[in-house]
Chains A and B, each alone.
Chain A
Amino acid sequence: MSVVARLDEARAARRQKTLIAFNAATLRLGGKTIIENLDLQVRPGEFLCIVGASGCGKTTALRLAAGLYRPTSGSVTFDGEPVTAPRREVAIVFQDYGKALLPWRTAAGNISLALEAARVPARERGARIEALLRKVGLPGHAGKYPTEMSGGMQQRLQIARCLAQEPSTLLMDEPFGALDAMTRQGLQDEVLSLTQASQTTVVFVTHDLDEAIYLGDRVIGLLPHPGRIGIELDIDLPRPRDQLATREHPEFLRLRRQLFDFIKATEH
């Protein structure tokens, strides 16, 4: 058997395994059904994007996976175990970086928070912080407070703090929703290169359909009231993705049309 065939087989085997599973997960909050009978499998190493009209429960689904909510009925499992609370190998990148960072701590201090929580000895933290800042493109900003940084830089900082957890899974809740187009494209490519290299599993919630197709191995579209799966698309665009070539690819345009039609049909 050739090396390529064996690699393909290994990849196929990994694809079949499930890291996060929603089994008929239902969540009711305050008498309202936010998510109903959601069945969803996230495979290890995959980049899964969740899209949908606002109020379709995509953020809620992410919070269920994170253990910030617990399902009213059904179950959510991580690596076969029920998710009852957040776990250190799962990191969450929130949309509102301004609220998720500690304003009284510098960039280095904010990353340090994750290292302190993971009981990394104080003398090792400095080097780790420096490496993480370099990784997200913020070298030399260690001493800055979040309020002294631009939105893009703050989001990079939050991502660095999440990477400090050394997570196997990243849950990202519309992380670039508040950023301008140029910053957003730069960060998309950085997240791809950071997560592809380390085989990190990513669940990425966004309302930007192009972004979902550009980033994902798979895109799931949710239907609103209550949230459930309406469409599932496998994205077989070549990697590494490129902001120009990928977005001009005929397959990209076909998927984009399909996804737009789906979203349009859900919005009445």
Chain B
Amino acid sequence: MNRAAILWRVASILVAGSFVAAWQLIADLRLVSPVFLPGPDRAWAALVRGFSSGDLAGKLIGTLEHMAYGWLAASIAGIALGALIGSSKVMRAYVAPSLEFLRPLPVSAIIPVAIAMLGLTQGMALFVIAFGAIWPIMLATIHGFAAVEPRLYEVARSLQMSRAAIIGKIALPSALPDILAGMRLSLTVALILSVVCEILAGLDGLGQWVLLSARAFRSADLFAGVILLGATGYVTSIAVSLVEQRLLAWQTAAR
């Protein structure tokens, strides 16, 4: 890291620190009632208390599980369907209009449908999260497969590569930047829907913790849950970015 990069990093930490300081100030001056707004000190204490009693860790694991299973299911199905649709011009022409109708559908609207069909179960949560998270992945995969350089297919033909080899060695690596970008986007969607499902279906997780804390006016616990959710989104997104950088090292090689 060079000097300029270090300075920018220091500046960004200072900004974040001043937000926390402002929050502390507002809480200490009682500009907002402490019933609704705890200071960062109380929120932090609640966080530590939650983890030492083991309650919060269990909720965190619950949310991470919902998110991971839903996201993985969405990734597998999204890449498979996207590859199928994207690699065929005919399929794209047939299926694209239906996708355009389904894609902007708010996922929250299908939650009642999912609850009616699957009940207040983990299966319902998995279905809803996967359904919401599949779109960015599938659409990115379709785009990635449709945008493969046609010349590369001719190279593959002249080398008489098998269909499986063409998908594995030409189409998939060519579409990988798009696919990974889609997977990073859908990670956020998976987190949001995990919380929504936990709140609506009372499933074990941070969503439920946040809801119950709010109902009991335990604002410090509520904020501890919110902070933990923010951290979850941040850390998972960074993890995926790191994998992305690793897999796409060839893109930055020339620059």
Contacting residues, chain B, for A104 (C-beta < 8 A): 173-174, 176, 248, 250-251
Measured between alpha carbons, how far is A152 from B178 in the docked complex, in Å?
Answer: 30
Task: Check: A79 CB closer than 8 A to any chain B CB.
Answer: no
The residue of chain A having its C-beta at the shortest distance from the C-beta of B170 within the complex is: A102
Task: Check: B29 CB closer than 8 A to any chain A CB.
Answer: no
Q: How many A-B residue pairs have CB under 8 A?
A: 63
For this complex, into which size category does the number of interface residues on chain A fall? Answer: 20 to 34
Do the beta carbons of B151 and A99 come within 8 Å of each other?
yes
Contacting residues, chain A, for B158 (C-beta < 8 A): 66, 68, 86, 90-92
Shortest A244–chain B CB gap in Å is: 36
Task: Please tell me which stretch of A109-117, A133-141, A200-208, A252-260 contacts chain B, meaning at least 4 of its Cβ atoms lie within 8 angstroms of it.
Answer: A109-117
Task: Check: A85 CB closer than 8 A to any chain B CB.
Answer: yes
Given A103-B250, A147-B253: A117 in contact with B151 (beta carbons within 8 A): no
A102-B170, A102-B173, A104-B173 known; 18 new pairs, CB 8 Å cut-off, are A66-B158, A68-B154, A68-B158, A85-B157, A86-B159, A88-B160, A94-B155, A96-B151, A100-B152, A100-B154, A102-B169, A104-B176, A113-B159, A117-B159, A118-B159, A145-B250, A148-B253, A165-B159
Q: Is the interface of B mostly helix, strand, loop or mixed?
A: helix
Contacting residues, chain A, for B176 (C-beta < 8 A): 104
Instruction: Tell which of A66, A99, A105, A117 touches B161, judged by Cβ atoms closer than 8 Å.
Output: A117
Task: Check: B165 CB closer than 8 A to any chain A CB.
Answer: yes
Given A99-B149, A100-B155, A116-B169: A87 in contact with B254 (beta carbons within 8 A): no
Contacting residues, chain A, for B250 (C-beta < 8 A): 103-105, 145, 147
Contacting residues, chain A, for B251 (C-beta < 8 A): 103-104
Shortest A109–chain B CB gap in Å is: 9
Shortest B158–chain A CB gap in Å is: 4
Number of interface residues of B (CB under 8 A): 21
Measured between alpha carbons, how far is A86 from B157 in the docked complex, in Å?
Answer: 6
Instruction: Tell which of B149, B169, B174, B254 touches A113, judged by Cβ atoms closer than 8 Å.
Output: B169
Measured between alpha carbons, how far is A104 from B149 in the docked complex, in Å?
Answer: 13
Given A88-B160, A117-B161, A165-B159: A147 in contact with B154 (beta carbons within 8 A): no
Contacting residues, chain A, for B165 (C-beta < 8 A): 116-117
Contacting residues, chain B, for A87 (C-beta < 8 A): 160
Contacting residues, chain A, for B154 (C-beta < 8 A): 68, 92, 94, 100
Shortest B16–chain A CB gap in Å is: 36
Measured between alpha carbons, how far is A85 from B161 in the docked complex, in Å?
Answer: 12
Measured between alpha carbons, how far is A118 from B251 in the docked complex, in Å?
Answer: 28
Shortest A164–chain B CB gap in Å is: 9
Where the two chains meet, the residues of A that have a C-beta atom closer than 8 Å to any C-beta of B are 66, 68, 85-88, 90-92, 94, 96, 99-100, 102-105, 113-114, 116-118, 145, 147-148, 165
Do the beta carbons of A145 and B254 come within 8 Å of each other?
yes
Measured between alpha carbons, how far is A99 from B150 in the docked complex, in Å?
Answer: 9
The residue of chain B having its C-beta at the shortest distance from the C-beta of A143 within the complex is: B253
Contacting residues, chain A, for B254 (C-beta < 8 A): 145, 147-148
| Interface members, chain B 161-184 (any A CB < 8 Å) | 161, 165, 169-170, 173-174, 176
Given A100-B151, A104-B250, A117-B165: A88 in contact with B159 (beta carbons within 8 A): yes
Measured between alpha carbons, how far is A91 from B154 in the docked complex, in Å?
Answer: 11
List 12 A-B pairs, Cβ < 8 Å.
A86-B158, A92-B154, A96-B151, A99-B152, A100-B154, A102-B170, A103-B251, A104-B173, A105-B250, A113-B155, A145-B250, A148-B253
Contacting residues, chain A, for B159 (C-beta < 8 A): 86, 88, 113-114, 117-118, 165
The residue of chain A having its C-beta at the shortest distance from the C-beta of B254 within the complex is: A147
The residue of chain A having its C-beta at the shortest distance from the C-beta of B250 within the complex is: A104
| Interface members, chain B 236-250 (any A CB < 8 Å) | 248, 250
Contacting residues, chain A, for B253 (C-beta < 8 A): 145, 147-148
Contacting residues, chain A, for B170 (C-beta < 8 A): 102
Measured between alpha carbons, how far is A114 from B157 in the docked complex, in Å?
Answer: 11
Measured between alpha carbons, how far is A100 from B174 in the docked complex, in Å?
Answer: 13
Contacting residues, chain B, for A86 (C-beta < 8 A): 157-160
Shortest B160–chain A CB gap in Å is: 6
The residue of chain A having its C-beta at the shortest distance from the C-beta of B253 within the complex is: A145
The residue of chain A having its C-beta at the shortest distance from the C-beta of B177 within the complex is: A104
Shortest A88–chain B CB gap in Å is: 6
Measured between alpha carbons, how far is A211 from B165 in the docked complex, in Å?
Answer: 37
Given A117-B165, A145-B253, A147-B253: A102 in contact with B152 (beta carbons within 8 A): yes
Contacting residues, chain A, for B155 (C-beta < 8 A): 92, 94, 100, 113
Measured between alpha carbons, how far is A105 from B174 in the docked complex, in Å?
Answer: 11
Mask: chain B, 8-29; 1 = CB below 8 Å from A; 0 = not: 0000000000000000000000
Shortest B32–chain A CB gap in Å is: 53
The residue of chain B having its C-beta at the shortest distance from the C-beta of A110 within the complex is: B155
Measured between alpha carbons, how far is A153 from B173 in the docked complex, in Å?
Answer: 23
